[in-house]
Amino acid sequence: MAQDAIIVQSTTSTANSGLYDYLLPIFQDKTGITVNVVAVGTGQAIKNAENCDGDVLLVHAKASEEKFVAAGFGTERTDLMYNDFVIVGPAVDPAGVNGSTDVQGALAQIARSGALFASRGDDSGTHKKEMALWADSGVDPTAASGGWYRETGSGMGATLNAGIGMGAYVMTDRATWISFENKQDYTVAVQGDEDMFNQYGVIPVNPEKCPNVNVDAAQRFADWLLSSAGQAAIAGYKVADQQLFFPNAPGN
Amino acid sequence: MGEAFGLAIALVVSGDADLIEIVALSLGVSLSATVMACLIGLPIGAFVAVARFRGRNAVLILMNALMGLPPVVVGLLVYLHLSRSGPLGFLGLLYTPTAMIVAQTILIAPIVAALSRQVLEDLHAEYADQFRSLCLTRVQTVQALLWDARYSLLTVGLAGFGRAVAEVGAVIIVGGNIDHLTRVMTTAIALETSKGDLVMALALGIILLVIALAVNAAVQSVRLTAARQAYV
Amino acid sequence: MSDAVVISSAAFPSAAKAPPVLPLKVRDLVLRFGNSTVLDGVSLDLGPGGCTMVLGPNGAGKSLLLKLLHGLIAPSSGQVTWGGQPAAQVTARQALVFQKPILLRRSVAANIDFVLKARGKNRAQRDALLEHVGLAHKSDQPARLLSGGEAQRLALARALATDPEVLFLDEPTASLDPASVQAIEAIVRDARDRGVRIIFVSHDIGQARRMADDVVFLHRGRVAEHSTASDFFPEPRSSAARDYLNGRIVV
């Protein structure tokens, strides 16, 4: 039944890490609602939702999400879960940042050493976060764009493939990294800075802006994700024995 | 590479349900688009092949240029039209196989038109005197050319199909690469690549290649049979 | 196949009751391509019935004259009228058999069917036509795998399928074996005997002697001579025709 299907405009990390493959069958069994996921960068996901091409938005760029709701495209934004960003690098560690827990310091060190750094460069949630961290570190990497700073303009997976191919540092969300299968000699170089916190939010699309949205099913999906059952399911998803997402919906 | 071959064979032999679904959708979408593109492109190609009119050269240049339409641009244009906020949004076609067929049809109709124009114009050069002697109407001429060039046009259709089944840029935008709904071979390959599962991506690529080979071989054998009868 | 084959009148229904296509009047016909003048003032009158052979050296413009008479191309100047009607208006009442038969990429039968269908004629005539040209046993074979003689007989059958009042033949037997030449001549003679007006371009003087009721001799883009066969062959009036019949090359 068509009215029992919704489209989720989503960031890629939640899709590529396999979270939806784990969550959606549980939700579908319970409710009979089919959830179709369009996984694109956060920037594009928000634009698609603004075009009314989705029923639920699930991304990770809080400021943009709040703007989306303020503009009337979403009914309400709620924290859903978090994990963190990490900077991965080759074993040779050309910038000498291995083991660092100070992300701004590490970025400045990478810039100083001229070691290669591969950026999404695609206005995604990860890219926005990375740009904010560069700004905090006092470096404008785009001045070196094409030099040591390489903007792939691609998704997280493609950027990891490209970065690993050229021996560059890459900032990625931890979930994508853990489930990524082409790591080669790469390891996590920088992690643990509280500034690398990565918050995901969920927003039902507003039927006042988009009369076509399947508002009931969308709301049920969002409510389930935020419920104790949904939060438990998120916490239960593991890859290589590691939990990828940490539920933090309010009231749980 | 060897690992990918092994995985490709294992996927095929085990009759992996997801794989079958993806392959079936790929073939369904691209074959449908090829049929649609032929319904649109062949009459246009045939008309331009036999007609002489002002601006014909400009039309030829346009047809040939459109063969190089970037899939992403086609995808974007179709997205903007089918999006809920677009003029055709009320149809609710975005993120459906129909949207993918529409995009691929737009992508390959110019290929069918331009290549068939060449094939039919060559054939018309051979038949023109006879047809004029018989006082055929333009419609009769076009019908006869389309029928007599049918085996050459099969190759034209194949060129269109090859382009459609191999492109990823258009279908990923208008289809959304939704699992069990709009995921086809090329978008699945893109997805596996972005997950870093290069072995799986390559294995899917090998399967896509084998399917393309099989389709080509089937058409080629039809052509060879026809050629033995001097019908090509 | 032989002259004995009798075609039922049903296979060749009488012509539509349109104004007659003959006589043919050609007046001061000129055909130029750029600077070269191929036909330079051709005038000619042909009455109904019979076989007119068009002779002349290479480059005399024989094939182009046929296309002009048939209305396939337009002259640079001059006029062609058939029973007072412009050539292009009677094209459908005529048929042209080319030196190299243009056969469709279909079976022998389908080549005939195509014309019958295009002309809205009864397809039942097909078998009689194929029988007539001795190709009934090849009915289902691919047309383009026929031998040269067979292909030309099929082209003739296809021309006859249009039930033409005028049949143009452009060197139809060039480079065919003697048996094929004989077979084709028999078919053409049969058509003439049933009243089809034959206009036949040939290089073969022997063939011209066998077939001609009258002869048009083209030379340097003009009609050098138009005589009855009985006058032309024993004693051509023009020196060009004399030289041609004596085997001296004239251009």
In the three-class reduction of DSSP (H, G, I as helix; E, B as strand; rest coil), residue C34 is classed as coil
* Ordered per-residue pLDDT tens for chain B, 232 residues: 788 889 989 988 898 888 999 999 999 999 999 999 999 999 999 999 999 999 999 999 999 999 999 999 999 999 999 998 899 999 999 999 999 999 999 999 999 999 999 999 999 999 999 999 999 999 999 999 999 999 999 999 999 999 999 999 999 999 999 999 999 999 999 999 988 899 999 999 999 999 999 999 999 999 999 988 888 8
Q: How many CB atoms lie within 10 A of CB B31?
A: 17
Looking at domain A83-196, its CATH superfamily turns out to be: Periplasmic binding protein-like II (3.40.190.10)
What does the alpha-carbon distance between residue A36 and residue B179 come to, in Å, rounded to a whole number? 7
Q: Which residues pair with C36 in a beta bridge?
A: C33
In chain B, which residues have their Cβ closer than 8 Å to the Cβ of C116?
A: none
Q: For C211-228, write each residue's pLDDT tens digit.
A: 999 999 999 889 999 999
Please give the pLDDT value at position C249: 59
* CB neighbour burial string for A83-114, b if at least 16 within 10 angstroms, e if fewer: bbbbbbbbeeeebebbebeebbebbbbbbeee
pLDDT beyond 50 at C11: no
Question: What is the strand order of the sheet C214-219 is part of?
Answer: C94-97, C166-170, C197-201, C51-55, C214-219, C222-228
The Cα diameter of chain C in Å comes to: 51
* Domain annotation covers residue C116: no
Distance from CA of B40 to the nearest CA of C (A): 24
Q: How many beta-carbon pairs below 8 A join chains A and B?
A: 65
**Does chain C touch chain A (at least 3 C-beta pairs within 8 Å)?**
no
Please give the pLDDT value at position C19: 84
For A176, name the nearest residue in chain B, comparing CA atoms only.
Answer: B195
Q: For A100-124, write each residue's pLDDT tens digit.
A: 999 999 999 999 999 999 999 988 8
Q: Do B196 and A181 touch (CB under 8 A)?
A: yes
In chain A, which residues have their Cβ closer than 8 Å to the Cβ of B193?
A: 157-158, 161
pLDDT mean over C164-186: 94
Dihedral angle, C-alpha B146, B148, B152, B153, nearest 10 °: 20
What does the alpha-carbon distance between residue C7 and residue C3 come to, in Å, rounded to a whole number? 10
pLDDT beyond 60 at A71: yes
Closest to C165 measured CA to CA, from C18, C65, C62: C18
Mean pLDDT of chain A: 94
What does the alpha-carbon distance between residue B214 and residue B210 come to, in Å, rounded to a whole number? 6
- CA geometry: angle A50, A56, A62, nearest 5 deg: 75
Tell me, what DSSP letter sits at residue C89?
H
Q: How many CB atoms lie within 10 A of CB C209?
A: 14
Q: A2: Cβ–Cβ under 8 A, 6 or more apart, which residues?
A: none
- CA geometry: angle C219, C225, C231, nearest 5 deg: 135
Note which residues in 56-115 of chain C have CB less than 8 A from chain B: 67, 70, 72, 91-92, 94-96, 98, 102, 104-106, 114-115
**CB of C144 within 8 Å of any CB in chain B?**
yes
Please give the pLDDT value at position A30: 94
Q: Which domain holds residue C202?
A: 34-104+164-245
Q: Do C144 and B132 touch (CB under 8 A)?
A: no
* Domain annotation covers residue C26: no
Could you give the domains of chain B? Answer: 2-228 (1.10.3720.10)
**C72: nearest CB among B132, B144, B149:** B132
What does the alpha-carbon distance between residue B45 and residue C187 come to, in Å, rounded to a whole number? 40
Domain positions in chain A are 2-82+199-247, 83-196
What does the block give as tokens for C94? 């005529």
Tell me, what DSSP letter sits at residue C107?
B
Dihedral angle, C-alpha B196, B197, B203, B209, nearest 10 °: -30
Total domains, chain C: 1
What does the block give as tokens for A193? 């800075």
Looking at domain A2-82+199-247, its CATH superfamily turns out to be: Periplasmic binding protein-like II (3.40.190.10)
Q: How many CB atoms lie within 10 A of CB C70?
A: 24
Q: What percent of chain C has pLDDT over 90?
A: 73
Among C105, C111, C147, which would you mutate to test the B interface (most chain B Cβ atoms within 10 Å of its Cβ)?
Answer: C105
CATH number at residue C231: 3.40.50.300
Asked if residue B79 lies in contact with residue B172, where contact means CB atoms within 8 angstroms, the answer is: no
What is the band of A2 on the pLDDT scale with cuts at 50, 70, 90?
very low
Tell me, what DSSP letter sits at residue A200?
E
Angle between helices A125-137 and A103-113 (to 10 degrees): 80
